[in-house]
Amino acid sequence: MFFVNVGLLLYALGVEAKATKEAYMVKDNQEQAGLQERNSAQIEKSCYEFLYGLLGTLDSCLDRRLVETFLALVMVVIMHRHRNNGLLLSELGGYLKRPDQAPAGTKRISRLLHSPRWGAEMIETYLWTQADARVESLKAEGKQVLVVWDESVIEKPESLQLEGLCAVHSSKAKRLKRIKPGYFNPPGGRPICVPGYHWLQVLVLGMEGPLKVANMSWWSTRGDQATEKREVEREILAHVARRWGSQPLHIWDRGFAGNPWLTLAYVYAVSFVMRWPKHYRLVDAEGLERKAWEMTRGKRSWEQRLIWDARRRCQRKVGIIAVPVTDREHGQPLWLVVARPGQGREPWYLLTNLPVNTPQDAWRIVFAYARRWNVEMSLRFDKSELAFESPRLRKWETQMRLLLIASLAHAFLLSLLASDVLISALLQQWCHRTGKWSLKVKAPLYRLRSALSRLWLAYPPPFLQKLSSG
> Which phi and psi angles does 38 have, rounded to 5°?
-65, -40
Quick: pLDDT tens for 439-467: 667 668 899 999 999 999 999 999 988 88
Give the integer Cα–Cα distance in Å for 108 and 92: 10
Does any domain span residue 198? yes
pLDDT digit string (tens) for 395-440?
999 999 999 999 999 999 999 988 777 888 888 889 888 776 666 6
- Give pTM, 2 decimals: 0.90
Long-range contact list for 30-39, CB < 8 A, 24+ apart?
33/459, 36/429, 36/455, 36/458, 36/459, 37/459, 39/422, 39/425, 39/426, 39/455, 39/459
Which residues, in sequence order, are CB contacts of 234 under 8 Å at separation 6+?
264
Say whether both 203 and 308 belong to one domain: no
Summarize the confidence of residues 314-343 as an average pLDDT: 89
Cα separation values, 420 from 130, 417, 423, Å: 20, 7, 5
280 lies in the same domain as 131: no
pLDDT at residue 116, rounded to an integer: 94
Type of residue numbered 17: A
Can you list the alpha helix ranges (DSSP code H) found in 344-419?
359-370, 373-384, 396-416
Q: Mark whether 296 and 391 lie in a shared domain.
A: no
Alpha-helical segments (H) within 296-384: 359-370, 373-384
How would residue 186 be classed by pLDDT, with cut points 50, 70 and 90? Answer: low
Tens digit of each residue's pLDDT (9 = 90 or more) over 36-63: 899 999 999 999 999 999 999 999 999 9
Please check whether residue 468 lies inside any domain of the structure.
Answer: no
* Rg of the chain in Å (alpha carbons): 27
As a whole number of angstroms, the distance between CA 252 and CA 174 comes to: 22
Is residue 34 within a helix (H) or strand (E), and if so which, with residue range?
Answer: helix 2-50
Q: Which CA distances in Å does 31 have to 17, 70, 459?
A: 21, 32, 14
Contact assessment for residue 378 and residue 201, using Cβ atoms and an 8 Å cutoff: yes
pLDDT at 187 exceeding the cut of 80:
no
Top-confidence residue, 246 or 127: 127
Residue 438 falls inside a structural domain: no
Q: Does residue 218 belong to any structural domain of this protein?
A: yes
| H/E segment holding residue 44 | helix 2-50
Contacts 24+ apart (CB under 8 A), 161-164: 161/394, 162/195, 162/392, 162/393, 162/394, 162/399, 163/223, 163/224, 163/225, 163/394, 163/395, 163/396, 163/399, 164/197, 164/220, 164/222, 164/223, 164/224, 164/225, 164/396, 164/399
For residue 374, pLDDT beyond 70: yes
Phi, psi of 325 (to 5 degrees): -145, 175
| DSSP conformation letters of 166-217 | EEEE-HHHHHHTSPPTT------SSPPEEEEEEEEEEEEE-SSS-EEEEEEE
Compute the distance between CA of residue 359 and CA of residue 346 in angstroms, rounded to an integer.
20
Q: How far is C-alpha 295 from the geometric centre of its chain's CA atoms?
A: 36
Q: What is the dihedral of CA 279, 283, 285, 290, to 10 degrees?
A: 40
The residue type at 6: V
Work out the average pLDDT over 205-217. Answer: 92
Distance between alpha carbon 439 and the CA centroid of its chain, in Å? Answer: 20
Q: CA 380, CA 195: separation in Å to the nearest integer?
A: 19
Report yes or no on 338 lying in a domain.
yes
Are 157 and 131 contained in the same domain?
yes
Both 236 and 306 in a single domain?
Answer: no
- Secondary structure letter of residue 343 according to DSSP: T
Residue 444 burial (CB count, 10 A): 19
Assigned domain for 307 exists: yes
220 with 131, same domain? yes
What DSSP letter does each residue of 212-271 carry, written as one string?
Answer: EEEEEEEEBSSGGGB--HHHHHHHHHHHHHHHHTT-SEEEE-GGG-SHHHHHHHHHTT-E
Segment 186-211 shows an average pLDDT of 89
Domain match, 236 and 314 both: no
**Co-location of 237 and 385 in the same domain:** yes
Indicate whether 275 and 218 sit together in one domain.
Answer: no
Average pLDDT over the chain, rounded to whole? 89
Domain hosting residue 307, numbered range: 271-353
For residues 101-111, b (16+ Cβ closer than 10 Å) or e, as one string? Answer: bbeebbebbbe
Band of residue 3 on the pLDDT scale cut at 50, 70, 90: very low
**171 and 234, same structural domain?**
yes
Flag whether 315 is in a domain.
yes
Binning pLDDT at 50, 70 and 90, where does residue 95 land? Answer: very high
How far apart CA 442 and CA 420 sit, in angstroms, is: 11
Same domain assignment for residues 229 and 344: no
In this predicted model, what pLDDT tens digit does every residue of 150-166 receive, in sequence order?
Answer: 999 999 998 888 999 99
Dump pLDDT digits (tens) for 110-153.
999 999 999 999 999 999 999 999 999 999 999 999 999 999 99
Percent of the chain predicted with pLDDT > 90: 66
Among candidate residues 316, 400, 369, the one with its CA nearest the CA of residue 113? 400
Does 325 fall in a domain? yes
* Residue 438 confidence (pLDDT): 66
Domain co-membership, 130 together with 244: yes
- What distance in Å separates the CA atoms of residue 261 and residue 259, rounded to the nearest whole number? 5
How many domains would you assign to the chain?
2
